[in-house]
Amino acid sequence: MINLVLFGKPGAGKGTQASFLKAQFNLIHISTGDLFRNHISNQTDLGKLAKSYMDQGDLVPDQVTIDMLENEVDQNPQAKGFIFDGFPRTEAQAEALDLFLAKKEMNISATIALEADDEILIERLLERGKSSGRTDDQDEDKIRNRFEEYNTKTAPLRAYYTNQNKFHSVNGIGTIEEITTRLTHLINSL
């Protein structure tokens, strides 16, 4: 079983790359962003709560995210592995994910960070915001706030996963195909 965590700042290409890796390695892709949007569009209690934070450019609290994620993993008991996209975002979430997976006799195989310059990511997000309808992709101040949240809360995951010998950094600049090739090579080397 291959269980991967993809992380990087908003706009780094996690969702795009996850779709390729999902097909190539026959994995279930769990995007917290997609989970949030699904809950929001269905106006669930968790969705309404998540939206109130996202609209401010803030990260959704751990317990809301964990509840959505655990439900999704439980719905796929026959999976050959998972790609966790956008989760964990904090060390507390990483610990909760490790505990949850251990109960299912699973673990994280590798954590892959897609690295890219802030200014390139801002351009990507503003462009995406023109067609996505996402308010958090249409305002540069909100985008920069999300980056600051990432730097404060998520970047420390580098040390958490490095201590487990599971952290890998991949250049997230280039064509989609170039980045996919880099990721495929890394995963095949695990």
Q: 9, 22, 51, 89: which is the annotated catalytic residue?
A: 89
CATH topology for 2-182 is Rossmann fold (3.40.50)
CB 94 within 8 A of CB 153: no
User: What pLDDT sits at residue 67?
Assistant: 84
User: What pLDDT sits at residue 140?
Assistant: 93
pLDDT tens figures, 11-49: 999 889 999 999 999 999 998 878 888 989 999 998 999
Q: 9, 51, 146, 182: which is the annotated catalytic residue?
A: 146
Chain centroid to Cα 23, Å, comes to: 17
Q: Cα separation of 97 and 111, whole Å?
A: 13
pLDDT category of residue 59 using cuts at 50, 70 and 90: confident
Q: Is residue 144 annotated as part of the catalytic site, yes or no?
A: no
> Per the structure block, which two tokens stand in for 70?
């655990």
Model's pTM, two decimal places? 0.81
Q: 134, 153, 158, 166: which is the annotated catalytic residue?
A: 134
CB 100 within 8 A of CB 21: no
Indicate the domain borders of the chain: 2-182
Determine the number of helices (DSSP H) and then strands (DSSP E) in the chain: 9, 5
Sequence-distant (≥ 6) Cβ neighbours of residue 109 within 8 angstroms: 1, 2, 3, 4, 81, 166, 190
Alpha-carbon torsion, ordered 150, 79, 77, 106, to 10 deg: -60
User: What pLDDT sits at residue 32?
Assistant: 82
Q: Is residue 134 annotated as part of the catalytic site, yes or no?
A: yes
Q: Is residue 14 annotated as part of the catalytic site, yes or no?
A: yes
